[in-house]
Structure 1
Amino acid sequence: MSWRRLRCQRSERVGPTTEAAQTLQGVRHGRRRDRLGGGSGMMPIIRPVLNWIDERLRIHAIIRATLTEYLVPANLTLWHTLGFVLVTCFVIQVVTGMLLLVYYVPDTGRAFDTVKFITNKVPYGWLIRDLHAMTSHVFVLAIFLHMASTLWMRAYRTPRELQWITGMILLGLVLVAGLSGYLLPWSQLSYWATTVATNAAGSIPRIGHTLVLWIRGTPNVSQYTLGRFFAMHVSIIPFSILAVIGMHLLFLRLTGIAVPGGEDKATVRKVPFFPHMVTKELASVFGTLILVNLLIFYFPQVNFPEDALIPANPLETPAHIKPHWYFLANYQFLKIVPNEFLGIILQVIVGVVLFFLPFLDRGKKSSRLYDGVFYTVVTLAILGYIGLMVWGYYS
């Protein structure tokens, strides 16, 4: 037998054995890595735990039902992302508010000093306070735009009446939150603005004086008023807002998102909520955060005019005291109406009409005359509200 043939036979005998040995050695190395937790070896340990949790909480099913398998109309615009912007603003308000509560003291003798301490001494306290205050403005602006867009698209009609009603309740709670939080710094501006705002209730015949006492706790804005407003602002109102948001989202899920442009819901093209709608909502949130930071760093006077930097003095009335911008239209309307009580009644009537609008707007969509009258009234109302706001700012 030649030397070459002997070498080939030896290779045939050794080759498979060597290959099997290498395979067995690789398996052993893999098991050793799994035991040591290296690479992806932790997955056989973690996966049973995750499966155990998922069997009880149905996390994957919830994700599929709310994101990847939840279908929405493909023609939704950025107007439909304002709801997510509102939720984001609410979360920022809660987080920054909790941080401010660490140092704030609801006492008339110490409130202004604690706010000053937060702004000047606490690390990044100025940023937390500015973020809390500026986000409140954006919160109100977003809910105004959300309600206005819903009104314009008439998305409150059947079967979405409860969505509109919870939205109106949420609007009222947000405005009350702004009014109650306005007093907490106990500055000259906040004290006298609260005095003017609560005095409006005193114009109601017979019950006006009692109503003012119920709001303030005493005839004048005092420690009792600060305590009541503080309790509302940090506990009652936030939990109420959270509950209303939950109901609003539940009704939204049950009835679905309104199709823009009045298209037929059965024929409109639909896409998964994730990633199509999620990307639009994230874009709106990023734009909102950019706006908030621009206002904080370049327009700080929006939050802190001159009278907001002075401690409250009940014996000295400032020359010009005005409420926040979102109350300017109401404030100016009361100024131009000869009778203050009449002005309050008219505003209450407008609020009641808006609250029950889904039950009042029963006109047919095909009626051009009805649609023309409706959009004319809505346009004039929005322009009138903006006009009163601008008038109140410059008056």
Structure 2
Amino acid sequence: MWQRIKQGLETRIGLEDLINTKLKSYSVPRNTNIFYTLGGVALVAFIIQAISGFFLLIYYVPHSDHAFRSVQYIMTAAPFGWLFRLMHVVGSNLMVAVIFLHLLSVFFMGSYKKPRELTWIVGWLMLLVTLTFCLSGYLLPWSQLSYWTTTVVTAMPTAFPYVGDYIANLLRGGEFVSGITLNRFFALHVAFLPPILVGLMVIHVFLIRRIGLSSPPFDASSEETKPWTEYRHVSYPNGNSFYPYFVLKDLYMVALYLVVMFFVITFIPTLFLPEASNIPANPLMTPAYIKPQWYFLAPYQMLKLIPNKFLGISIQIALIGTFLLWPFFDTKIERNILKRPLLLATFIASLVLWVVLTMWGRSS
């Protein structure tokens, strides 16, 4: 039976030719490491989020009177609801961590340089969309934690003169976080952001396949060291085939990702669900301590340290813009960061500062 199906597909779409031309003949650098697989892991993480999110939508009610109870029903009564919700919650945090590691490795290896500037920019836009996903989804359980965290975050635009209050009211649908805010964030989370992220993913993969993977800068190929004066596809005649070599490496890292996810779900299920996440939202009672998720702790702590809120937000926007357009600022040909001590020191100092601010924000 399988042979007949395979033969039928081969006759109609040329499956063998497709595999040979698009996978086996597509070569990658021979000395690729596990950091090259993080993009594929992030793609699988997004697929898991989409699937688990679909099953959560079956029982979730996007109304301020019913949202919290519907989430509790998912956790206690819906068939395997607890599993899908924990996969969604844990998966969102792991997905952000994988994307962070992916961007850090790309920066460290100088893979953002010409002609891959657009690939870097699209990747950064994907990170920003992912963080917006996390922010919009955070309010949906309508718990004390999600309500007051959203209140703090949506108040940030008020630091801007003239337009700040208008932006904050546009996000909330009024002066305060309410059921209107919940509906707006729900629409943003399930209808507006997914096609944007999928579109950016398609562009990102297209750019990677069109130009070719960059080789590690510590042993760059002669093809990579040539000046980029016109378009060409980087090929590696002595490299490894994308399939099965690179695909198997991707699958290994995906398996590791799943192991980490289900380890957290099994042994520390409350890691990303603190006590305040199990209390229904009460606009009349402010909790003693409200902190955003770990990936927002560094900018949150920075805002607390800078007395002028407008200055703090402006600095953060400037930093985002700098990283987004970094390939156009760093125009040196040398990709090996170990041969550029000033850039290496800046990279390490920035990473340490981010970790310190995150830990400080968590403990303060």
The answer, yes or no, to whether TM exceeds 0.5 is yes
Aligned counterparts, 1:345-356, within 5 A:
345-356=314-325
Q: 1:315 to 1:257 in 2, by over 3 A?
A: same
C-alpha distance in structure 2 between counterparts of 1:50 and 1:326, whole Å: 46
Secondary structure of 2:102's counterpart equals helix
Name the residue aligned to 1:310: 279
Aligned counterparts, 1:178-193, within 5 A:
178-193=134-149
Name the residue aligned to 1:264: 221
Q: 1:48 to 1:121 in 2, by over 3 A?
A: closer
Secondary structure of 1:303's counterpart equals coil
Rg (Cα) greater in structure: 1
Q: 1:369 to 1:291 in 2, by over 3 A?
A: closer
Q: 1:97 to 1:367 in 2, by over 3 A?
A: closer
1:270-293 deviations in whole A, cap 9, x for unaligned?
A: 011111111111110011101001
C-alpha distance in structure 2 between counterparts of 1:340 and 1:368, whole Å: 35
Indicate conservation of the 8 Å contact 1:118/1:126, yes or no: yes
Identical columns (%): 38
Q: 1:272 to 1:314 in 2, by over 3 A?
A: same
Name the residue aligned to 1:234: 190
C-alpha distance in structure 2 between counterparts of 1:319 and 1:368, whole Å: 45
Name the residue aligned to 1:246: 202
Q: Does 1:283 align with 2:252?
A: yes
Name the residue aligned to 2:111: 155
1:97-126 deviations in whole A, cap 9, x for unaligned?
A: 000000101000000000000100011110
Aligned counterparts, 1:9-48, within 5 A:
none
Q: 1:128 to 1:47 in 2, by over 3 A?
A: closer
Q: 1:74 to 1:209 in 2, by over 3 A?
A: same
What code does the residue aligned with 2:281 have? Answer: A
C-alpha distance in structure 2 between counterparts of 1:47 and 1:128, whole Å: 34
Alpha-carbon distance, 1:85 to partner:
0.5
1:128 equivalent among 66, 78, 84: 84
Alpha-carbon distance, 1:60 to partner:
3.1
C-alpha distance in structure 2 between counterparts of 1:47 and 1:301, whole Å: 46
C-alpha distance in structure 2 between counterparts of 1:223 and 1:367, whole Å: 52
2:12 equivalent among 44, 48, 53: 53
Q: Does 1:143 align with 2:112?
A: no
Alpha-carbon distance, 1:52 to partner:
4.2
Secondary structure of 1:107's counterpart equals coil
Indicate conservation of the 8 Å contact 1:363/1:370, yes or no: no
C-alpha distance in structure 1 between counterparts of 2:325 and 2:9, whole Å: 48
Unaligned runs of 5+ in 2: 225-235
1:108-157 deviations in whole A, cap 9, x for unaligned?
A: 00000000001000111101100011000000000000000111111000
Name the residue aligned to 1:97: 53
Secondary structure of 1:85's counterpart equals helix
Name the residue aligned to 2:163: 207
1:166 equivalent among 101, 104, 122: 122
Q: 1:358 to 1:121 in 2, by over 3 A?
A: same
Unaligned runs of 5+ in 1: 1-39
Q: Does 1:382 align with 2:341?
A: no
Alpha-carbon distance, 1:367 to partner:
9.8
Q: 1:88 to 1:366 in 2, by over 3 A?
A: closer
C-alpha distance in structure 2 between counterparts of 1:367 and 1:126, whole Å: 46
1:87 equivalent among 37, 43, 47: 43
Name the residue aligned to 1:224: 180
Secondary structure of 2:270's counterpart equals helix
C-alpha distance in structure 2 between counterparts of 1:161 and 1:366, whole Å: 13
C-alpha distance in structure 2 between counterparts of 1:85 and 1:276, whole Å: 16
C-alpha distance in structure 2 between counterparts of 1:100 and 1:367, whole Å: 45
1:333-391 deviations in whole A, cap 9, x for unaligned?
A: 00001101100000111111111111110124199998111111111111111111111
Q: 1:86 to 1:205 in 2, by over 3 A?
A: same
For the aligned residues, what is the CA RMSD?
1.8
* Count, aligned residues: 351
C-alpha distance in structure 2 between counterparts of 1:277 and 1:238, whole Å: 27
Aligned counterparts, 1:286-365, within 5 A:
286-365=255-334
What code does the residue aligned with 1:383 have? Answer: V
C-alpha distance in structure 2 between counterparts of 1:170 and 1:332, whole Å: 24
Name the residue aligned to 2:21: 65
Q: State TM-score, norm by structure 2.
A: 0.93
2:243 equivalent among 251, 257, 274: 274
Secondary structure of 2:155's counterpart equals helix
Q: 1:151 to 1:105 in 2, by over 3 A?
A: same
Secondary structure of 1:186's counterpart equals coil
What code does the residue aligned with 2:173 have? Answer: G
